[in-house]
Amino acid sequence: MTDVAENLSNVRARIAAAEQKAGRVAGSVTLLAVSKTKSVELIEVAVAAGQRVFAESYVQEAIAKQTVLVDLPLQWHFVGPIQSNKTRLIAEHFDWVHSIDRRKIAQRLNDQRPADMQPINVLLQVNISNELSKSGSDISEIKNLLESIMKLPRLSLRGLMAIPVKTTDYAEQRQAFRCLAELKTELNETFGLSMDCLSMGMSNDMEAAIAEGATHVRVGTGIFGARDNK
Ligand SMILES: *Cc1c(COP(=O)(O)O)cnc(C)c1O
């Protein structure tokens, strides 16, 4: 059995240490517990240990869990690849979406966000590793994507997300995250925006991400243990 409460407290300690080492304000990094493939029971253990923010990657699986947990004050982030036939469910069931990588998806989320809900918080997923990774918008496309998203009133544009190619080399991890941080600064200046979020860092590279300014780290294995393949 994975000890979710103990893992959570270890992850929180790693985040606090990384914040301090980087000279950042304590508590400035939000921990997203990535609960994809994990049971409602394990999520409830995390909630009992004080966790309120969860991230999921598969729409139907996420909604099934949300339905059971509806009475708890949880915030839900969608971080998985988005098929266009799933946008309505995402617009109706999530507070945040980190994985917007094309215009069509953004337009559909905007059109399908229910009128009685706040605009949905969105981050653009950027492919900062070029041909090595297939997910995310290419850097060369990001300005066009941003220009169209800025016009969509039901989306609240909050920042950028990336999943860099895996490496255990700390300097390489930092370099990839720095690239995303610099891109956010550049886009804010170019377009007069105030994007305030950088979603970067997972179980194995959250320290490097926090050193480069991550505001949201997405941690699955480090909290819930290894996933079964899906
Ligand atoms: C699964 C997943 C994570 C969590 O990764 P771990 O290595 O288990 O911490 C983070 N971000 C995204 C987008 C994911 O799909």
As a whole number, the mean pLDDT across the chain is 96
Give the pLDDT band of residue 129 (cuts 50, 70, 90).
confident
Ligand 1 centroid distance, CA of 30 (Å): 15
Q: At what angle do helices 103-112 and 142-149 cross, to 10 degrees?
A: 20
Q: Is 15 exposed, middle or buried (0-12, 13-18, 19+ CB in 10 A)?
A: buried
Q: What is the pLDDT of residues 29-47, one digit of tens each?
A: 999 999 999 999 999 999 9
Is the CB of 136 within 6 Å of ligand 1? no
180, 110, 198, 175: which is closest to 139 by C-alpha?
Answer: 180
Is the CB of 14 within 6 Å of ligand 1? no
Is the CB of 62 within 6 Å of ligand 1? no
Q: Which two tokens stand for residue 53?
A: 């923010």
Is the CB of 222 within 6 Å of ligand 1? yes
Give the pLDDT band of residue 199 (cuts 50, 70, 90).
very high
pLDDT at 220: 98
Q: Which atom of ligand 1 is nearest to the CA of 221?
A: 8
pLDDT at 77 > cutoff 70: yes
Task: Give the number of other CB atoms < 10 A from CB of residue 117.
Answer: 13
pLDDT at 135: 82
Is the CB of 57 within 6 Å of ligand 1? yes
pLDDT at 1: 56
pLDDT at 76: 98
Low-confidence winner among 100-109, 126-135, 155-164, 191-200 (lowest mean pLDDT): 126-135
Residue labelled with tokens 């103990």: 6
| DSSP β-bridge partners for residue 75 | 53
Locate the DSSP E strands across 66-221: 75-78, 96-100, 120-127, 137-138, 155-161, 197-199, 216-219
- In the chain, how long is the greatest CA-to-CA distance? 50
Q: Which atom of ligand 1 is nearest to the CA of 161?
A: 13
